[in-house]
Amino acid sequence: MTNTLRLGAHRFSSRLLTGTGRFPSLQSTVDALTASGSELCTVALRRLPLDRPDGSALLKALPSGMKILPNTAGATTAKEAVRIARLAREALETDLVKLEILADPVTLYPHNAETLRAAITLVDEGFTVLPYCGDDPVICRELEAVGCAAVMPLAAPIGSGLGLLNPQTLSLIRELIEIPMIVDAGIGSPADALQAMELGCDAVLVNTAIAAAKEPIGMATAFRLAVEAGRLSFLSGRIPRRRYATASSPSEGLSTLRIPNDGDVNRETNHLKEDVWNS
């Protein structure tokens, strides 16, 4: 079961979660999601006009088997987030929710205190809660303690593409919690996703790095391969880092070779020239 991602009662074979925002068109969204191999995509409910005839076009066009992860994006308080999550459960018939509460519109950093408050309520109401949070071991352990199905610490500010700014902290979080850790926000390239997976992260969520790429479909494919390679690398176990060089060839049982001096080399060279000339 090492290749199965478990989020509450839900199971996924892909460890790449995808977003649906910022794509140039609906068709490019669908094509990129298909190429990514992702089985779970986020949808910001507040930006999905379900009250309009074309409001559910995205939901109807999603690849077969794709599950929806409603996002409480836009919420700034626990009260707002809980209300959005309840609406999402009714509208989309899912217990999954990505809990996102932002502290301010400049940094787009998560409001950890409000996130924890909302998580307690939503877990009590039977939601499978996946909270977006800071790369802070303390808040991650608190979210685990209240019953969240996973934690989603940021790698860097949302949409920045800066990659893993603090891999040491992410590695520490992975060691301290038992629930899945999904790196969310700031991923800029497949190399970032691979690094996160090699650290032992259970999955990554990528939106802007795919949607805003020159070729979203190609980039989605690259992310799929990077996540798979990173996971396989983590499971296979990398060699330890060493300060000094270590010979790759064994030193035991080596035969003793006589190193010729300059005179021997010259004589051997002359013999070789004579043999070539005579032939």
Question: Quick one: pLDDT at residue 191?
Answer: 96
At residue 153, the 3 state secondary structure works out as: strand
Nearest alpha carbon to residue 101 among 66, 76, 137: 76
**Where do the domains of the chain lie, and which CATH numbers do they carry?**
5-236 (3.20.20.70)
Asked whether residue 269 carries a pLDDT value surpassing 80, the answer given is no
- Residue predicted with more confidence, 41 or 247: 41
What pLDDT, on a 0 to 100 scale, did the predictor assign at position 21? 86
Do 227 and 197 form a contact (C-beta atoms < 8 A)?
yes
Q: Residue 208 above 90 pLDDT?
A: yes
Sign of CA dihedral 61, 58, 63, 83: negative
Amino acid 265: pLDDT: 54
Spatial separation of the C-alpha atoms in residues 202 and 197, rounded to whole Å = 7
- 40: tokens are 């779970």
Q: Which of 50-64, 84-98, 253-267 has the highest mean pLDDT?
A: 84-98
The percentage of residues in the chain with a pLDDT greater than 70, rounded to a whole number, is 85
10 three-class SS: strand
Cα dist from 56 to 61, 73, 165, whole Å: 9, 18, 37
Nearest to 16 by CA among 191, 235, 223: 223
Percent share of the chain, pLDDT over 90: 66
Pairing of strands 5-7, 10-12: antiparallel
**CA 13 distance to own-chain centroid:** 14
- CA torsion sign for 108, 163, 97, 145 is negative
Region 15-32: mean pLDDT is 92
106 pLDDT band (50/70/90 cuts)?
Answer: confident
**Are 37 and 64 spatial neighbours (Cβ–Cβ below 8 Å)?**
no
| Residue-wise pLDDT tens digits, 73-94 | 989 999 999 999 999 999 889 9
Q: Is the pLDDT of residue 220 over 80?
A: yes
The residue-averaged pLDDT of 200-227 equals 96
Question: Which of residues 246 and 250 earns the better pLDDT score?
Answer: 246
| pTM listed for this prediction | 0.83
Contact 30, 63 (CB under 8 A): yes
70 band by pLDDT with thresholds 50, 70 and 90 = very high
Weakest mean pLDDT among 59-63, 111-115, 234-238: 59-63
**Mean of the per-residue pLDDT values of the chain:** 88
Chain mean position to CA 193: 5
Give catalytic residues, as residue numbers: 98
Whose structure tokens read 């599950």? 67
Are 113 and 143 in contact, with CB atoms under 8 Å apart?
no
Residues in the chain: 279
143-195 tens-digit pLDDT: 999 999 999 999 998 889 898 999 999 999 999 999 999 999 999 999 999 99
DSSP 235-247: HH-PPPP-SS---
With CA atoms as reference, report the closest residue to 229 among 256, 190, 268, 277: 190
pLDDT at residue 35, as a whole number: 96
**pLDDT number for residue 1:** 41
| pLDDT, position 263 | 59
Distance (Å, whole) CA 81 – CA 98: 10
2 band by pLDDT with thresholds 50, 70 and 90: low
Residue pair 7/34 in contact by the 8 Å Cβ criterion: no
CA-to-CA distance for 1 and 119, rounded, in angstroms? 28
